[in-house]
Structure 1
Amino acid sequence: QVEDVPEFSMTAVLLHHNVTGSEHLHLARDDKNNVFNVSLRTTPMNSTGVAHVLEHVALCGSDRFPVRDPFFKMLDRSMSTFMNAMTGSDYTMYPFSTQNQTDFRNLMSVYLDSVFFPRIKKLDFLQEGWRLEHEKKDDKFSPIVFKGVVFNEMKGVMADPSYLYGTTLLSKLLPDHTYGVCSGGDPAHIPNLTWEDLKQFHASHYHPSNARFITYGDMKLDEHLGIINDKVMKKFTIIDPGTAVPLQPKWDQPRSHTMHCAPNEMAANPDKQTTYSKSYLLHEVSDIFETFSASVISTLLIDGPTSPFYRNLIESGIGSDYSPMTGYHNYQKEATFSVGLQGISDGDVTKVDQLIQDTFMEAAKNGFSKERIEAILHRVELQYKHQSSRFGLGLTFSLMPVWQHGTDPVDSLKMEEIVNKFRQKLDSDDKFLQKKCEEYFVNNKHHLNLTMTPDPGYKVSLEKSEEEQLQSMLGKLSEKDKSQVYEEGLELSNVQQQEEDISCLPTLHVDDIPRKQQNYGLIVQRIKNDLPLITCGQPTNGVSYFNAVLPVNGLNEDLKMFLPLFCDVFTQMGTHLTDYASFSQREDLFTGGLSASVTSSCCHNDPMTSETSVRLSSHCLERNLEQMFQLWAELFNEVNLNDATRLQTLIRQRAQNLANGVAFSGHMFAMASAAMNLAPSAGYSEKFGGLTQVNLMKKVADSNDIDDVIMKLNQIASYMLRINKRDVPRFALHATPSALSSTMTSLEKFVDNIKTARCKLLTPFMTSQMNLLRNTKQLTASKMKLISDPELNGIILKMTLHQLPLPVNFASMCIPTYAPYSHTDNPTLRILGRLMTTKFLHKHIRYRNGRAYGGG
């Protein structure tokens, strides 16, 4: 099947393999970032994590490439722009992308052999899955403990209440088949997985009859097919993998479930940590039009301040933010929709439930305004025209899961056809959306009421259960078994320390790498008031992009702490001319959104000099340029930061999101904390995005009096939203060459429209490192000590401990090098960092230690 897809400027070719029944989708497009992705439907029926462990073990060497972790070792032999593998609830995919054609062929050969012909050695299973091993592997009298990469990874993942909630939600809403288990693996069940189970799972699931392939980019299809046929297809015949997922039997009554999690000590209000949601089972995802209709309705219901659920739930003040998994999900056999609140009191569950029911009834009765619908359809148009550097990769990620369940991947790409059909439905039936709301929600008995409450003893209970499980297993071991544990630990350690011959792996050579750098045609120029501007004309598919950098170095230090909050609320508060809901609707009608962020960067030639700046960005269709810049001008001239009720809503959301991120990104917080006193930019980065910011927002969200915050935000605005000779703003525009002229004209009008407001006197910026350190406030909960390590020749080390209620730990060490971007040692250090990770730390921390998921 061969069809043009003009929406994405590409041709889709869908092929069926006669011998194995496999399918291949090729997306031919003028894009040098070529993508390969092979996906297998993996349907585990228990929570041992068999699919997840297999994903890891498949990457521990194959028939043609018998080396440990060939993917990781290819990082040093490749110019890939992406390499990974991932396990979903009912699929496992192995994607990569690269701009080098020789590299593409190299990586495809390694990927195909790893997926279809892995060695699956027992020692690899013990390393990647789980094992019993002495705490000190060479001391048989030290305690025996659980070790293993996936075991430790999932302990970390399960420490995130959002993941725990999402996994439980899916398992309780679709309990009767593969979705009723945890595909990633529950640490309580992973030790039940055997090596034999793993080999059997591979034999039944990792077969071309159960596989789908996608290739994307400007390379030729026949070459891809030749390699796949030679390396894989000709070695297999058709089988029935038996992996089809049956439909979930529908309930005749709603069900309820209550679960527990650890208390979140980073949350603003310790008495409001309950989460509640209602989740609905909808239609099969193979129905493309139904999927599109449901996704639009979901967006209308929950997205932005004009949506009914935002008004009735978020702005009620009952909770801090939407519950995890809120929204429409179509990555399984049947789609689901969920909505609820987190950060609520136990006693408010009934109230939230009633609000949800009332909101569905309201939507089924009144529907949605035409302007709101148009805004959402405009967003859809902009989404498929906006194409990032990883456009092809993202396309395979969205197609693969639903393709597994009968969706026609080519038809699902025809967005204009789908949108036109949707418009026709609206024109022919003015109650179309109301009827769908009734069908999906009001009359749908198959829905789950899920409550999650904090349990102070949760962490201790997990540790106790793990210890009891360990002791139970140890109690069943004979002396011979214990001796085998010791011997296997030594054997695995010996194998891990052996130097491998990796010459079997393909590699790029200097001659394979083009020596000519691609020129993107950047033009540096000046516009109104001698302001610097960079323009770039590129085939952007009719989308124009605007970016601005507003330096704020002269801002008072106390105010700088509130820059992240200012950036978060700046585009969401509305103006003195337009309330925030109407302003948000205009954003959706004419742009892909207006955003602001704060960053601190060190000077290219001096690491002790930094620039703190606010960065603005937006994009729009060429026809909407005037409206986009009108929105920015209105924000600059008339932003309203005085609405205390609106501001408190946004503060609660921000505080909740930051608190939720600590468990998921603990390594990033540890790195920021370790680096914060070594350079000004690192100090500001921690203040803006580290635990200091988490604690600040916790304090702000916990206060009922935000007059001081409003004053600070207005002071920031009065300083930032004007043009002066000291902190000169910089602009960048990217558009199609034919639209650059009109884009520049719109920008010049915007600059003319900005009022140059006078700001109040602010304390001058203190540039020295000593003043930076003096202004740095440590967390009250932190314990600090200075030690002198003789092995480091007396260097004083600053040690910081942040005590968090997590079952996993994150550690970081940061060493000053003071080699800025233009220093001759900078590229050497960048390469050294890569080699330290791939050649040393990864091997020692992830493999030999056995107690950590990774390091670098």
Structure 2
Amino acid sequence: MSLLKANWSLLSRQKRFLSSSAVRPVLYKVGQVLHDYEVKRVVDVPELFTTAVELEHTKTGSQHLHLARDDKNNVFNVGLRTTPMNSTGVAHVLEHVALCGSASFPVRDPFFKMLNRSMSSFMNAMTGADYTMYPFSTQNAKDFRNLLLVYLDSVFFPRIRKMDFLQEGWRLEHEKIDDKLSPIIFKGVVFNEMKGMMSDPSYLYGTALQNKLLPDHTYGFCSGGKPMDIPNLTWEDLQNFHATHYHPSNANFITYGDIPMEIHLEQINEQVMKKFDKINPDTEVPLQAPWPQQRTATTNSPPDPMAANPEKQTTISFSYLLPEVSNVFESFVAYVLCTLVIDGPSSPFYKALIESGLGSDYSPNTGYHSHMRQAIFSIGLQGIDKNDVSKVENLMEKTIDDVIRDGFTSERIESILHRIELQIKHQSSMFGLGLSFNIIPTWQHGADPVESLRIDQTVKKFREKLEVDPEFLRNKCKEYFKSNTHRLSLTMNPDSEFSSKMESTEKKMLQERIEKLSDEDKDLIFKQGQELLENQHFMEDLSCLPTLKVSDIPSKQVQHDVGVKFSREKTMPSIMTCPQPTNGLTYFNNVIPINELREGLMTYVPLFCDVLTQMGTESTDYVTFSQREDLFTGGLNASVTSSSVYDAMETETSVRLSSHCLDRNTSKMFDLWRELFHEVKFDDVNRLRTLIRQRAQELANGVSFRGAMFAMRSGAQHLAPSAKYEEKFAGLTQVNLMKELADQDDLSDVISKLRQIGDYVLHKNVTTQGERYALHATPDSMETAEKLLEAFQIGKPGMEPSHVQLQSELLQNGDLVYVLPPDGVLSRHVRWNKFQQNCSRTDHNLPLAVNHVSMCVPTSSTYAKDDSAHLRLLARLATNKFLHREIREKGGAYGGGARHGDDGIFRFYSYRDPNVTKTIEAFEKGVDWLISGDFDQQDIDEAKLAVFQSVDSPVSPCDRGMSYFLDGLPHQIKQKHRDQLLLVGKDELIDTAKRRLVGCDASIAVIGPGDAESNKN
């Protein structure tokens, strides 16, 4: 005990905020055996406030890393090296099927059912190029044990039923399951998911690059599966792959948090390890044979319908094979070097490629990638004319030569090391989960997991190398790039017939299979479809699954110990100060209402936020300003939001400015903001055009990948003012605006609009009313931060309101009101008197392989209203108990569900969905199902548990009190919302569904190609 006290005393003096559970590992000894695990190392990692314990299971050889840290958000992750040797998607399909029932939990989809029986902060599974991971996190110790039971059984003892393979992988089935005369088609969750992925040029490019740069083994194939290869996968293949890859000897385990390690080891040993013997899994990935000379390759993709210039859709990049990721220091050097050459406007490749005007942005794979056995670095440009490929290649060659000749300034190197220091100190709410994601892929290839955590030691060694050898980085540049013959030049061109060719290939393959079917085979397909449908509808006994109870949910809303100071005067900004254990960082937030800005400027506010910190000032060019930003802060950020939490017809639309820095740099952080407020400029046309093209490309790339979000924004925009602005700011309206501006020669009108927005946002005489500030810092640093903020406030520039073009329609459409809830922060809203709700259907016909569908219903019940909690539970009930079965299991979509927003809109959605008409019918039937009350108390309790996953999700120190600051939600209202979630019963839920979801016209939006039935209409 004295040893424990001595170490705790030391840790307390170092202000490490660790509990006794985190220091417990100091009592472990190398060679000690705990539950058949031998302790190999015990290492303190002070920079991460962590003690790492590395263990090996004596019987199976399985590797385990425990990271003890004073963090209630405990993490489990098991990674298996999965090395498919074809593109049938066997590893991906197995990831899905493993979660569809196991020996101890023989129910359909225990993974999805545990989503409703848990308060996890994260649950998922994911397939990489050569690994599969099964991670979860939770703040509840009982929940951790429950989830660990299910995860371990799912991974190591899955049933792998044929029915689950057919549902999740692929199958032949009649288009209409109950109609034997309807066409036979391909169905399956993974099949449709990967069809959706093949619509994304970025995914296609990344897959082609990996396949062609590392062609000799597993990386030469697509682990996710290619749609035309997936139908070659058999049920037997899946079973064999599990038998050869899902074994403890082929697994690496990570546990993290404040639960004592012994508890985890005992459970894993008893449940899994004792049932296996050690084997040689023979899954090691061999080194790629080096090429004697560089290679070139080409590939195709569908044209991007959102591209600004249809004639500029070619992508080109150079990709290099770098050293093995097992060498932690070499990987760190490669990361730093690759970041130096591409990151920020002062980097060599940014100047050469982005500012050349030849393309819109870096190629989608640009950067350093270390999640395979050998690292990859890629650099290139997208959005170029196919005739300019050679120009881009010449620029890339020349830039490498320039870097080798000129090297890097000490300021550039220090800015990267400063960024690493900030990343270490920043305490994310999902810190442990992120660690596990970074460690497992390299650990499985021999990287030392503990050494990879000791970042301070690695940085120190790096500095020593630079001091001893000033040419160190330049020589590395020669080694990695100039002398490296294992280089691939990959060009991707748009093919207007890409989608039709894929569709034709699928039809041909389908037809060939159908022609080989006998009458007996066809009868079997019809029977199989009926059996699968019956299986999907079968009401199972779920009593075998562990679960938390509603009584396990704390009745009291967490009220963080934050100090708050604010002004209730309308003429003075409110200031909130939150002393927190921020680990030596100061966080700054500034909310500036823009309600009165005229409507014609509103759509340009996101662009204003994007370019505000990237254009430089009258005193400092944008390159130098960016360098100062990197040296002294974690970045200056601006964003725009519109929220309604009290009344659906009251909105606060505002710009939010935010930044953070080391305490020692707080004055420099405010100096940067002060300079922007006084001297920002927008008239550098070339710089502005570059930023517009980058933004346009990023938005366009996101449509296919995040199509469900765009569909929901499109559907909701006519139902509430805040939803209207959300669509303007982050929906297809914004995508189309940027597409239009990206290829516009004359930007004078854009510059004029940005100046007007800047005049309004940055000048205190216009924006003082409703403006507010927040500071998060340690108690020792808060006083200094407050004084610096006060000086910043006083020094803000002034301007008369008459100098700014304000919203002329405001008095016709609504009134300005001030919202000051009990003990809340003053905010300034618009109460809309003339907002016309318009329910309609909008089809955004885009050449994607699958659809994204949304149906939105206005409920007018915002967060602070009495029945918003009820609607939140109804959305979860519909998702878990009805829509999952109808949309995913039966419909074959990758996912779907419902959610009720704080803005008073009930949103149904699906993504990567082969259907439209059937999905909309499922949404409508979902409302009928809720009204029918076809759910019991157990279903309601599970919905409550699922909702509280987000209500009680972990909050990092820098975010504590932010809902209070941003939306004016005091503790009393959040506690009232919590009480309503906990206490509501079935009759109240049905009543709310009838009042809020019936008799309301719905707004529907579809993004994608549609389906046969919807295209007839």
> TM-score normalised by the shorter chain: which range applies?
over 0.9
Q: Distance in 2 between matches of 1:552 and 1:597?
A: 12
CA contact under 8 A between 2:759 and 2:804: conserved in structure 1?
A: no
The 5-angstrom pairing of residues 752-791 of structure 1 reads: 752-759=794-801, 760-764=803-807, 766=809
Q: Partner amino acid for 1:810? A: H
Q: Does 1:826 align with 2:868?
A: yes
Structure 1 gap segments, 5+ residues each: 773-794
1:702 alignment counterpart: 743
CA shift, 1:756, in A, is 1.3
Q: Distance in 2 between matches of 1:833 and 1:726?
A: 39
Q: Distance in 1 between matches of 2:494 and 2:270?
A: 55
The 5-angstrom pairing of residues 632-651 of structure 1 reads: 632-651=673-692
Give CA-to-partner distance per residue, 1:307-352, whole Å, 9 cap, x none: 0000000000000000011010000000000000000001110110
1:583 alignment counterpart: 625
Q: Distance in 1 between matches of 2:300 and 2:527?
A: 40
Q: 2:348 aligns with which of 303, 308, 325?
A: 308
Q: Partner amino acid for 1:833? A: A
**Corresponding residue SS for 1:801:** strand
1:612 alignment counterpart: 653
1:137 alignment counterpart: 177
Give CA-to-partner distance per residue, 1:392-425, whole Å, 9 cap, x none: 1111111111111000110110111000000000
Deviates more, 1:534-543 or 1:492-501: 534-543
CA pair 851-379 structure 1, distance change in 2 beyond 3 A: closer
Q: Does 1:719 align with 2:769?
A: no
Give CA-to-partner distance per residue, 1:414-439, whole Å, 9 cap, x none: 11100000000000001000000000
CA contact under 8 A between 1:63 and 1:113: conserved in structure 2?
A: yes
1:624 alignment counterpart: 665
2:254 alignment counterpart: 214
1:812 alignment counterpart: 854
1:532 alignment counterpart: 574
Q: Distance in 2 between matches of 1:608 and 1:767?
A: 14
Give CA-to-partner distance per residue, 1:821-847, whole Å, 9 cap, x none: 111100011111111111111111000
CA pair 535-288 structure 1, distance change in 2 beyond 3 A: same
Deviates more, 1:191-200 or 1:259-268: 259-268
1:183 alignment counterpart: 223
CA contact under 8 A between 2:368 and 2:377: conserved in structure 1?
A: yes
1:749 alignment counterpart: 791
**Corresponding residue SS for 1:222:** helix
2:47 alignment counterpart: 7
Q: Distance in 2 between matches of 1:417 and 1:809?
A: 49
The 5-angstrom pairing of residues 32-51 of structure 1 reads: 32-51=72-91
**Corresponding residue SS for 2:84:** coil
CA contact under 8 A between 1:305 and 1:581: conserved in structure 2?
A: yes
CA contact under 8 A between 1:553 and 1:765: conserved in structure 2?
A: no
CA contact under 8 A between 1:572 and 1:584: conserved in structure 2?
A: yes
Aligned length: 833
Q: Does 1:798 align with 2:844?
A: no
Q: Distance in 2 between matches of 1:837 and 1:172?
A: 41
1:328 alignment counterpart: 368
Q: Distance in 2 between matches of 1:751 and 1:770?
A: 32
1:233 alignment counterpart: 273
CA shift, 1:769, in A, is 10
Q: Does 1:466 align with 2:466?
A: no
2:203 alignment counterpart: 163
CA shift, 1:728, in A, is 2.7
CA shift, 1:854, in A, is 3.8
CA pair 854-818 structure 1, distance change in 2 beyond 3 A: closer
**Corresponding residue SS for 1:378:** helix
Normalising by structure 2, what TM-score? 0.81
Q: Partner amino acid for 2:465? A: K
Q: Distance in 2 between matches of 1:851 and 1:413?
A: 39
Q: Does 1:541 align with 2:583?
A: yes
Q: Distance in 1 between matches of 2:193 and 2:378?
A: 27
2:697 alignment counterpart: 656
2:608 alignment counterpart: 566
Q: What percent of counterpart residues are identical?
A: 62
Q: Distance in 2 between matches of 1:503 and 1:448?
A: 55
Q: Distance in 1 between matches of 2:265 and 2:335?
A: 35
Give CA-to-partner distance per residue, 1:665-697, whole Å, 9 cap, x none: 111111111100000000000011111111111
**Corresponding residue SS for 1:96:** strand
Q: Distance in 2 between matches of 1:140 and 1:852?
A: 25
Q: Partner amino acid for 1:534? A: M
The 5-angstrom pairing of residues 231-270 of structure 1 reads: 231-270=271-310
**Corresponding residue SS for 2:790:** helix
CA pair 362-680 structure 1, distance change in 2 beyond 3 A: same
Q: Does 1:438 align with 2:478?
A: yes
2:724 alignment counterpart: 683
Q: Partner amino acid for 2:627? A: Q
CA contact under 8 A between 2:708 and 2:854: conserved in structure 1?
A: yes
CA pair 169-834 structure 1, distance change in 2 beyond 3 A: same
Give CA-to-partner distance per residue, 1:539-596, whole Å, 9 cap, x none: 1111111111111001010001100000000010011011000000001100010110
Q: 2:70 aligns with which of 30, 34, 54?
A: 30
**Corresponding residue SS for 1:4:** strand
Q: Partner amino acid for 2:473? A: L
Q: Distance in 2 between matches of 1:427 and 1:618?
A: 32
Deviates more, 1:125-134 or 1:734-743: 734-743
Q: Partner amino acid for 2:725? A: Y
CA pair 659-238 structure 1, distance change in 2 beyond 3 A: same
**Corresponding residue SS for 1:606:** coil
CA contact under 8 A between 2:596 and 2:810: conserved in structure 1?
A: no
Q: 1:117 aligns with which of 139, 144, 157?
A: 157
CA contact under 8 A between 1:553 and 1:727: conserved in structure 2?
A: no
**Corresponding residue SS for 2:855:** coil
Q: Distance in 2 between matches of 1:36 and 1:727?
A: 47
The 5-angstrom pairing of residues 90-489 of structure 1 reads: 90-489=130-529
Q: 1:66 aligns with which of 93, 99, 106?
A: 106
**Corresponding residue SS for 2:132:** strand
Q: Partner amino acid for 2:674? A: A
CA pair 710-431 structure 1, distance change in 2 beyond 3 A: same
Q: 1:598 aligns with which of 628, 634, 640?
A: 640
Q: Partner amino acid for 2:450? A: V
Deviates more, 1:509-518 or 1:232-241: 509-518
CA shift, 1:763, in A, is 3.5
CA contact under 8 A between 1:321 and 1:653: conserved in structure 2?
A: yes
Q: Distance in 2 between matches of 1:513 and 1:820?
A: 23
CA shift, 1:513, in A, is 3.1
Normalising by structure 1, what TM-score? 0.96
Structure 2 gap segments, 5+ residues each: 1-40, 816-836, 899-1017
**Corresponding residue SS for 1:589:** helix
Q: Distance in 1 between matches of 2:598 and 2:465?
A: 56
**Corresponding residue SS for 1:526:** coil
CA shift, 1:732, in A, is 1.1
Q: Partner amino acid for 1:471? A: Q
Q: 2:708 aligns with which of 653, 667, 683?
A: 667
CA shift, 1:366, in A, is 1.0
CA contact under 8 A between 2:174 and 2:185: conserved in structure 1?
A: yes
CA contact under 8 A between 2:74 and 2:137: conserved in structure 1?
A: yes
Deviates more, 1:579-588 or 1:730-739: 730-739
CA contact under 8 A between 1:26 and 1:216: conserved in structure 2?
A: yes
Deviates more, 1:565-574 or 1:532-541: 532-541
CA contact under 8 A between 1:551 and 1:611: conserved in structure 2?
A: yes
CA shift, 1:519, in A, is 2.9
Q: Distance in 1 between matches of 2:814 and 2:560?
A: 41
